[in-house]
Amino acid sequence: MRTFLSVFSTLFLAEMGDKTQLAVIAFAAESDRPWIVFLAASAALVSSTGLAVVLGGALSRVVPAAWLQVVAATAFVVIGLFLLREALPEALGR
């Protein structure tokens, strides 16, 4: 139960306000069938999460979990730096 609550709370907070949620808001606003939007978005998230679990499980047999965390953290930092490099000149008016 501890693992469930940890994963749920971390991902719930991480997903709030991200591009996926904004896309779902836009789809729901345009649709006259918001429950279909909910079901489709839920199926997409379950599918992508299932794929991540399968890949993570397979990789953990070959690569230590600590290294997977380092790679994931590095990818987040690199993506963040790339986005910052793209946005900063515009934000500074250059």
Residue ranges per domain, the chain? 1-62, 64-94
Mind listing the pLDDT tens digit for each residue in 41-79?
999 999 999 999 999 899 989 999 899 889 989 998 998
* pLDDT over 90, % of the chain: 56
pLDDT at 16 over 90: no
The overall average pLDDT reported for the chain is 90
Within 13 Å and on the Cβ side, how many CA atoms surround 42?
Answer: 6
Measure the CA–CA gap between 65 and 57, rounded to whole angstroms. 10
Interacting residues of 21 by C-beta distance below 8 A, sequence separation 6+: 15
Instruction: Using alpha carbons, select from 21, 3, 23 the residue that is nearest to residue 13.
Output: 21
pTM of the shown model: 0.63
What DSSP character marks residue 1? -
For residue 78, the model assigns a pLDDT of 93
- The least confident of 16-25, 29-38, 44-53 is 16-25
Query: Which residue reads 């779902």 in tokens?
Result: 24
Alpha carbon distance 78, 82 (integer Å): 6
